[in-house]
Amino acid sequence: MVFLLSWLQTAGFSQDRLYSRFSGNESSFNPALAGFRGAFSLSGRMASQWQSAQLSGVRTGFFRIEESLPCSLFDYDLHAEFNREGSASYQTIRLGGNLAGTAPFTTGQTVHNLRIGMGLIWQASGVDFSNLIFSDQLHPKYGPFDVLGNRNPTSFAFPSVSRTAWFFAPSAGLSHRILFNPENKRSASLLWGVAIHHFLSLGNGKSWGQTESLLGLETPLPYRLHGFFQYTFIPYYRADQFVRVIPQVTMEQQGNVSYWNAGVEVSLNRNLALGAYFQRTLSEAADQNAQWLSLQVGLGSRSFKEQKIDIHFAYNIPLTGLRNQLGPFLEAGIAFHFSKSPACGLLGQENALAYPGVQCPSSSFSRPRRKLYENIW
C-alpha cells in the first residue's frame, strides 16, 4: 500500500519511467540530441526508486550505443531499456533507436545548429498476476491469508497472456544549439529543445499515443511532452585549466502529471562535475506533489589519448511525501567514449571526433560540416 500511494503521488497512471539525471542521458528525453556528444559511446545506467524493507519499488536498466558522424549531417543511437515496478513485477521492455539530423547556419560569428530527431521505439509490458492481492482475498482479521498462513483464493480470472503485444511508441524532437564565438575558448553556449513521445498510434489512429493494456481494455498511453533549457559559460580558463558552469531547467508533462527540474552543474576540466537540482512532480488530479533534492557527481578519466571513461552517480533525497517510509532514489551509470567514428571509417571518410584547432570547453566545432557537439574531450 505504501508503494502504491507513492506511485500515485509521483507517477500517476500509465506514466513513463523517470530519470533524475539529464546530463549524459539527453537522447532519452529528446531524440534530437542523439549523438551530440561528439564521440562513439557505449553507456549503461541503473536506477532504483522508492525501495523499502517490505516492498519492491522501481528498478530500471538502460544500455545505449551512440555515434556522432563527422562525415554526415546525421547522428544516431541504438538502445534497450528494462523497467520493473512493484511486488507484482510489472515489467516494461523498450527497444529502438534515435536518428538526428543537423541544419547548421551562422549569424555573424555565431554558429547555430538546428537539430531534428526521430525516435523509433517498440515496447511491451507484462505483469506477474500471481503476486497481486485482490480485494476479495482480504480477511478482516488476517488480511490476504487464512489462519494457517495460506493465501486466500480470489475470483479474479487471470488472463491466459500476461504480456501486451509489442507496440510502436515513436517520438520526435527539436533542439537548437548556439555557440557564440567558436574562436574564443571562453565562449558561452546555449542549448534548448522540445520533444513529444508516444505521438503516433498504429493501432488506433483516432487517439494520441498507443494503447497499453494487459486485459485488452485499450488503456491509452498518454503522450509525453518534454522541454529543456541550459546555458553554459566558462568563468575561469587558464593554461588549459577551466571551470564550466551549466544552469539548467527541464520539464515534462504526461497525462495529469507534470515534472520540473531546475539546478546547476559545475565541472572542473571535464574530470569532476558536481550538480545540485531541485525536482518536483505534481499530480493535478490528486492535488499532491513530491519534491526531492538531487545531488549528482560525475567523474571522467582519459587513460588513453583517444578514449575516455565517464562515471556518474545521483542521490535523490525526498523532501515531501512518504520520505520516512521509502528509500532514496538512486541512479548510477558508466560510459566509454572513443574519438573515432567506426561508421565514417568504414566508408573511408573523415572519422576524427576530437578536433584540432581552437576548441572551447562548452562546445566542439566540426568545421567541415559545421556541426556543434558537446566537448567531452
Judge whether 283 and 265 are in contact, CB under 8 Å: no
* pLDDT digits 0-9 by tens, 179-223: 998 888 899 999 999 999 988 765 554 444 455 666 666 666 788
What was the pLDDT predicted at 223?
85
Which distant-in-sequence residues (6+ apart) come within 8 Å of 92 by Cβ?
17, 81, 82, 83, 85, 123, 124, 125
Low-confidence ranges of the chain (pLDDT < 50): 1-14, 205-209, 324
The residue behind cell 567514449 is 337
In the chain the domains, ranked by start, together with CATH numbers, are 2-128+162-373 (2.40.160.40)
CB atoms within 10 A of CB 106: 11
Q: Which amino acid is at 319?
A: L
What was the pLDDT predicted at 363?
83
* pLDDT digits 0-9 by tens, 293-347: 999 999 998 877 789 999 999 998 888 765 545 667 889 999 999 988 999 989 8
CA distance 283 to 13: 10
CA distance 209 to 221: 5
- Cα 256 → chain centroid: 20
Judge whether 341 and 71 are in contact, CB under 8 Å: yes
Q: Cell triple for residue 234?
A: 566558462
Beta strands in the chain (DSSP E): 40-49, 58-67, 74-85, 90-107, 110-126, 167-168, 171-179, 189-197, 210-211, 220-221, 224-238, 241-254, 257-268, 272-283, 288-301, 307-318, 329-338, 364-366, 371-373
Helix (H) or strand (E) holding 343: helix 342-346
Least Cα distance to 329 among 1, 14, 11, 31 occurs for 11
Backbone angles phi, psi at 131, to 5 degrees: -95, 0
What was the pLDDT predicted at 348?
87
CA distance 150 to 128: 19
Q: What is the pTM of this model?
A: 0.83
What was the pLDDT predicted at 15?
56
Beta-bridge partner residues of 11:
none
Least Cα distance to 8 among 210, 225, 256 occurs for 256
The residue behind cell 530500471 is 60
